[in-house]
Amino acid sequence: MRRVLFLFLDGVGLGLDDPQVNPLAAAALPTLSALFDGCSLTASTGRFSHGNAHLIPTDAHLGVPGRPQSATGQTAILTGVNAPARLGEHYGPRPDQRVRDILDEAGIFARLHAAGHATAYVNAYPQGYFDAVKRGKRLLSAVPYAAKGGGLQLRTWKEMVAQQALSANFTGQGWRTKLGYPDVPLYSPQEAGAQFWHLAQPVHFAFFEHWQTDFLGHYRNLRGAVEDFERIDGFLAGLLDVMDWQETLLIIASDHGNVEDCTIRKHTENQALTVLVGGRAEAYAQRVHRLDNFADIVTDFLDETDEIGRH
């Protein structure tokens, strides 16, 4: 079965090849290094392909000056609509009504559902998150808003305990130590990657969101970001070890730069990180230039019929 896996990394751009500044230049990333023949995920590498893996510097400005922001950038990814141009500005972090209108109009989860493709948003949220939303103390960010618009229920601690969801930080450790859920399972990063593949089995499109990269960038936490990217690399090792490369398109993408420059707290104006992996990825990688290219690529990959008429 054709399947798209989308790993969203918040706030990751392609920056300097300087380990004192950029955690992507400092971290030990054996999985990503092997994918790209030893080339670093930095601006100096540029657009680069090696085998079935493709590194793509991606325009996050979309023709609008200023520092790209989360709400409009994520909405461009999730809809294929140039949200910054529609609003006349980069906006974030969470969607206002203008941005929610775009997500309602063209959200990828709803589009795929209407086309008969099953979808999953595998992140779990603690009860405190739902309580804050209900009290009006917290707005849904773009991804959970789009997922709900596509008919999905956000996963909770119950799905975490039942091994039917993942923690945004991969391991689940924070759910035990910080959120008070002692019964949630613990995963190594590699086990979490394999679990993502397992959770994707019933569906055509599975989305997983990792936001800690943006958080660490805002706090200029270079050491923490290095450790986080090493967990991401482990997650990818576990995923790629079990993934069906021929029938799967793995998209790793971000909405704007941030963590690649730990000397500042603000978002950067660097091009955003995109990686495509899969036996059929090359033709789709050639179509990625901007954040608003992804939604059509997802739908086209799932709708394309192969040579013997199967999907």
C-alpha to C-alpha distance for 116 and 100, rounded to whole angstroms: 23
The reply to whether 116 falls in a domain is: yes
Indicate whether 35 belongs to any domain: yes
- Residue 305's pLDDT is 59
Which range has the worst mean pLDDT, 243-252, 280-289, 300-309?
300-309
Which 8-state DSSP code applies to residue 209?
E
Provide the domain count of the chain: 1
Per the model's pLDDT, the better-predicted residue between 304 and 47 turns out to be 47
Burial 139-155 (b: 16+ CB within 10 A, else e): bbbbbbbbbbbbebebb
Tell me, yes or no, whether 311 lies in a domain: no
In a domain? residue 277:
yes
Question: How high is the pLDDT of residue 309?
Answer: 37
- Average pLDDT across the chain, whole number: 97
121 band by pLDDT with thresholds 50, 70 and 90: very high
Question: What confidence category does residue 137 fall into, taking pLDDT thresholds of 50, 70 and 90?
Answer: confident
In this model, does residue 306 exceed pLDDT 70?
no
pLDDT digits (tens, 9 = 90+) for 153-209: 999 999 999 999 999 999 999 999 999 999 999 999 999 999 999 999 999 999 999
Q: Return d(Cα 208, Cα 170) in angstroms, integer.
A: 10
In this structure, is residue 161 part of a structural domain? yes
The confidence band for 92, taking pLDDT boundaries of 50, 70 and 90, is: very high
Give 274's DSSP letter: E
Tell me if 309 is assigned to some domain: no
Q: Which SS3 state, helix, strand or coil, does residue 170 take?
A: coil
How does pLDDT run across 58-76, given as a tens digit for each residue?
999 999 999 999 999 999 9
**In CATH, what number is assigned to the domain containing residue 120?**
3.40.720.10
Mean local confidence (pLDDT), 279-297: 98
Structure tokens at 68: 């790209």
Q: Is residue 308 part of a domain?
A: no
Domain that holds residue 162: 3-303
Cα dihedral 301→76→164→154 (10° resolution): -140
Report the candidate in 98, 80, 79, 78 with the shortest Cα–Cα distance to residue 89: 98
Residue 310 within a domain: no
- The 10s digit of each residue's pLDDT in 6-31 is 999 999 999 999 999 999 999 999 99
Q: State yes or no: pLDDT of 311 exceeds 50.
A: no
Q: What percentage of the chain reaches a pLDDT higher than 90?
A: 97
- Sequence-ordered list of residues with C-beta below 8 angstroms from that of 76, at least 6 positions apart, any chain: 62, 82, 83, 84, 255, 290, 291, 292
pLDDT tens digits for range 239-249: 999 999 999 99
126-133 contacts at long range (C-beta below 8 A, 24 or more positions apart): 126/156, 126/157, 126/175, 126/179, 126/181, 127/156, 127/157, 128/179, 130/154, 130/156
